[in-house]
Amino acid sequence: MPLLVSSSISYWIIGHESVVRNLSFHQWILIYAIACITMAFAMTPTTFVALLSGYFLGLASVFPVAAASWLASWLGFTIAKLLDGGKFLDMISQKPKVMTILRNLRKDEFKIILLARLSPVLPFSVTNVVFSFSGTKLKNFLTAGFLGMIPRTCLAIWAGSQAEEVKKLIENPNEGNLTKFLLVSLVGISLFGITYFIRKAIK
């Protein structure tokens, strides 16, 4: 789904770049409102939205992208919780060892959420569902998730603002060596941190 929707949007934008550049303030608000829904339901990756925002709006798009991502997090988390209705926790409650690990993970849930959001590799919508099903506190999820999203969002927006052509940006979103280094660093920090807390919970 993300590939199909993102590819369709990319194809349209490449042929209508001038139209996008002339969008009004209110039209951009509408676009970000739609982006909240598409990101929450895994139709467009958050990085894709941030890259295009950086290309067309520059660094000024940091706030609207961050706000849209935060709202998409809340929407995805809330809908997943309504659909699950506590069934996941009821299922694993029959497995004491798993429940013990989950309880241990909850002690560091703020840090784990922050690290999960820090990584550009972990799918945004999937983490919404996972944290919702596992009984994560909404306040911790939204706060830590927002803080974790800031570095990767700013990096994607900056990368988009540096692109000379939208076609090259879409085909090679991480073209610069500095961008690649920072992306690998974020993934490394996230992976190391999450692994540490999982091992700690198991012990």
pLDDT one-digit tens code per residue, 86-141:
777 667 666 777 677 777 777 888 998 998 888 877 788 888 888 888 888 889 99
> What would the pLDDT profile of 134-170 be if each residue is shown by its tens digit?
888 889 999 999 999 999 899 889 988 888 788 878 7
Band (186; pLDDT cuts 50, 70, 90): confident
**Mean model confidence pLDDT for the chain:** 85
Task: Domain of residue 86: give its range.
Answer: 2-202
Given a cut of 80, whether residue 18 has pLDDT beyond it is yes
Average of pLDDT values for 44-52? 91
Average of pLDDT values for 39-56? 91
For the chain, the distance separating the N- and C-terminal CA atoms, rounded to the nearest angstrom, is 38
> Could you give the number of structural domains in the chain?
1
CA distances from 80 to 130, 139, 193 (A): 9, 16, 25
- All residues at 6 or more sequence positions from 127 whose CB lies less than 8 Å from its CB, including other chains: 116, 117
- Helical pair 25-40 and 62-84, crossing angle rounded to 10 deg: 30
**pLDDT value, residue 90:** 67
**pLDDT value, residue 29:** 94
Q: Where are the beta strands (DSSP E) in the chain?
A: none
Percent of the chain with pLDDT over 90: 31
